[in-house]
Amino acid sequence: MATVNQPLLGSPKATYPCCKTVFLTISVTVVLCLAALATLHVTTTNHFHICEKSKNPNSCHAILSSVATFEFLPPTKLLLLQAILKKSVPKINGAISTANDIHGRINDPKQQAGLADCATLMDLSRDRVEDSMLDLDSMSMNSLSGVHSWLSAVLTNHVTCSDGLHGPAKSIMETELKPLMELASTSLAIVNSMSPHSAGEITMPPTKEFPSWVTYKDRRVLQASPNAIKADVVVAQDGSGKYKTVQAAVTAAPDNSKTRYVIYVKKGTYKEKVDVGKTKKNIMIAGDGMDATIITGSLNFIDGTTTFNSATLAAVGDGFMAQDIWIQNTAGAQKHQAVALRVGADKSVINRCRIDGYQDTLYAHSLRQFYRDCSISGTVDFIFGDAAVVLQNCKLIANKPMSNQQNLVTAQGRTDPNQNTGTSIQNCQILASSDLSAVKSSIPTYLGRPWKEYSRTVVMQSNIGDHISPAGWLAWSGDFALKTLYYGEYMNNGLGAGTAQRVKWAGYRVITDANEARKFTVAQLIQGGAWLTSTGVTFY
């Protein structure tokens, strides 16, 4: 406790009667003692309440103690959160500097690639932390739900960075990443304790339209046929548009646009890698149909590309939308991790698209995402990541894998119980491709497996084919995450929907309460009532 050396008020010197001086001294002493006791009580109570559901309570308590100083009295949850975020920024800057420094001193291309991914991810994290600090000033429920999503993504970025490293680079970076993960985890514990609901359960009014974070103008675009969309710029291989490649059009798009910028891509096959960076906000890439406009690539892990960077199309600019296009990664099953689409853009919408690959087809990396009327195919973990994502009215198609593999539809990567992330599959068809159908009795297919400790996936109101194993779900390794995951099924149908022979894990449940199932709808899991309605994409 700091010693008070200065008077509370800078009053001019005066002479007081003895009794008045004694009374004043006693009063000030009492006030200071009561303030100290109240502060200690508030701090202790908050620490227990905040940290009791933290992944690491000891680390949570230590961090809160380090920031709960006499700089602010009493140390409210909001002030504690702001102090942690303020503390995080220079540490993130340090991690970026370290990654860049190691990158310049190491000669291993794979380690360099992982470090480059880390620098990118840390840069995104810094933005999300700073955005959170700004949004917390308003402290509305909508701002709190946004902050919850952003800080969940910050932790995901740190984990993704760590996962992509190996060798000396990983050993060095871990000293930077461990404290950053602890800060992120504690910040999430505070956010969760500030909310009247548990993580991922922020209630918004139900709606029959797309999530309300989609504007009225966007809604009209998403409901329009391909030839009815008014584009800002046209891409065409035959030279009839302004650009011949999709990336050229994205690069030329305005930075940080407040309004929708539509890139119309005429039918054809575009062999390129497309990156929609963080400054390319509110970009929409629209084609002539999911079988007509094709963006294709074949980057993969075996040939030296990181999983994170292997995506044919990657989008991190907020408000990203894709419609009527076909995104492929054609590397094949033998090349292992090979992403077709990676999305880390908040409030993103993928509508009427086809996404094809084998292992790790769709990387729903982070933040709030919505997929509607899409076709997604693959083999191992072909829908994975740690976004808060809802897939509605989609076809999820398992392909024939290599002879020593099994199919997994999902591999959700939630690492902390206070992240508001998870994968929700609603009113979808879970199907086998024609080549898998011929051998489905010898190649098992599962709804998912837990990539990370708090993996969370729900399949509801969907048609499940008979290629799905009666067990439904597969363990990752031994008993890892079987008690901490959340896997649920609700009102599904089809030959593979029976739950009598499902796994008996502590974290698996057949959902019978509609209120429990609502937690994984557009309105609640991705706060869609606050943003999707304005896009015009149909949802429920």
Q: What average pLDDT does this structure show over 213-228?
A: 80
Q: What average pLDDT does this structure show over 436-453?
A: 95
510 DSSP assignment: E
Is 487 within 8 Å of 458 (Cβ atoms)?
yes
Beta-carbon contacts of 130 under 8 Å, excluding residues fewer than 6 positions away, are 89
The whole-angstrom separation of Cα 161 and Cα 492 is: 36
Cis ω for the linkage preceding 254 (within 30 of 0): no
Q: What average pLDDT does this structure show over 260-287?
A: 97
| 21: Cα within 13 Å, side-chain hemisphere | 6
Say if residue 170 is in the same domain as residue 301.
Answer: no
The whole-angstrom separation of Cα 395 and Cα 66 is: 50
Say if residue 439 is in the same domain as residue 493.
Answer: yes
**pLDDT at 534 (0 to 100):** 59
CA angle (181 as vertex; 39, 144 as ends), nearest 5: 60
Q: How confident is the model at residue 198 (pLDDT cuts 50, 70, 90)?
A: very low
| 136: Cα within 13 Å, side-chain hemisphere | 26
Q: How confident is the model at residue 201 (pLDDT cuts 50, 70, 90)?
A: very low
CATH code at 112? 1.20.140.40
The whole-angstrom separation of Cα 362 and Cα 413 is: 13
The whole-angstrom separation of Cα 262 and Cα 308 is: 26
In total, how many domains does the chain have? 3
Say if residue 310 is in the same domain as residue 456.
Answer: no
Q: Whole-angstrom distance between the N-terminal and C-terminal Cα of the chain?
A: 54
Domain annotation covers residue 312: yes
Domain annotation covers residue 422: yes
Average pLDDT, the chain: 87
267 DSSP assignment: S
CATH code at 435? 2.160.20.10
Domain annotation covers residue 31: no
In this predicted structure, the answer to whether residue 39 has a pLDDT above a threshold of 60 is: no
516 DSSP assignment: H
Lowest mean pLDDT among 45-59, 112-126, 240-254, 452-466: 45-59
Is 410 within 8 Å of 428 (Cβ atoms)?
no
Note the pTM of the prediction, 2 decimals.
0.88
Full residue range of the structural domain in which residue 409 is found: 390-534
Domain annotation covers residue 7: no
Lowest mean pLDDT among 40-44, 177-181, 210-214, 366-370: 40-44
Say if residue 179 is in the same domain as residue 218.
Answer: no
Q: How confident is the model at residue 33 (pLDDT cuts 50, 70, 90)?
A: very low
**pLDDT at 538 (0 to 100):** 63
Beta-carbon contacts of 136 under 8 Å, excluding residues fewer than 6 positions away, are 78, 81, 82, 85, 143, 147
Check residue 532 and give left, alpha or beta (phi > 0: left; psi -120 to 50: alpha). Answer: alpha
What is 364-402 written as a DSSP string? E-SSEEEEES-EEEESTT-EEES-EEEEES-EEEEPP--
Domain annotation covers residue 11: no
Q: How confident is the model at residue 209 (pLDDT cuts 50, 70, 90)?
A: low
Q: How confident is the model at residue 75 (pLDDT cuts 50, 70, 90)?
A: confident
Domain annotation covers residue 186: yes
Amino acid at 72: F
Say if residue 401 is in the same domain as residue 451.
Answer: yes
**pLDDT at 531 (0 to 100):** 58
Say if residue 185 is in the same domain as residue 252.
Answer: no
**pLDDT at 226 (0 to 100):** 81
| 417: Cα within 13 Å, side-chain hemisphere | 16
Tokens of 109: 């291309």
Say if residue 464 is in the same domain as residue 519.
Answer: yes
CA distances from 188 to 129, 335, 487 (A): 12, 36, 22
CA distances from 458 to 407, 518, 521 (A): 18, 11, 10
pLDDT in tens, 348-400: 999 999 999 999 999 999 999 999 999 999 999 999 999 999 999 999 999 99
Per-position b or e across 240-279, b if 16+ CB within 10 A of its CB: ebebbbbbbbbeebeeebeebbbbbbbbbebeebbbbbbe
% of the chain surpassing 90 pLDDT: 73
Domain annotation covers residue 351: yes
**pLDDT at 8 (0 to 100):** 28
- What residues are annotated to the active site? 381
**pLDDT at 139 (0 to 100):** 67
Is 367 within 8 Å of 514 (Cβ atoms)?
no
**pLDDT at 197 (0 to 100):** 52
Alpha helices in 2-140 (DSSP H): 18-51, 57-67, 77-105, 109-135
Which of 194, 224, 253 is the endpoint of a domain? 194
Say if residue 181 is in the same domain as residue 215.
Answer: no
Q: How many residues does the chain have?
A: 540
Domain annotation covers residue 353: yes
Residue with tokens 């675009």: 221
**pLDDT at 48 (0 to 100):** 67
Which of 329, 348, 365 is the endpoint of a domain? 365
Say if residue 394 is in the same domain as residue 529.
Answer: yes
Which of 139, 169, 194 is the endpoint of a domain? 194
Say if residue 401 is in the same domain as residue 483.
Answer: yes
Burial class (CB in 10 A: 0-12, 13-18, 19+), 179: middle
Say if residue 427 is in the same domain as residue 402.
Answer: yes
User: Which of 34, 67, 33 is CA-nearest to residue 50?
Assistant: 67
Instruction: Provide the 3-class DSSP secondary structure of residue 470.
Output: coil
Burial class (CB in 10 A: 0-12, 13-18, 19+), 389: buried
Say if residue 214 is in the same domain as residue 100.
Answer: no
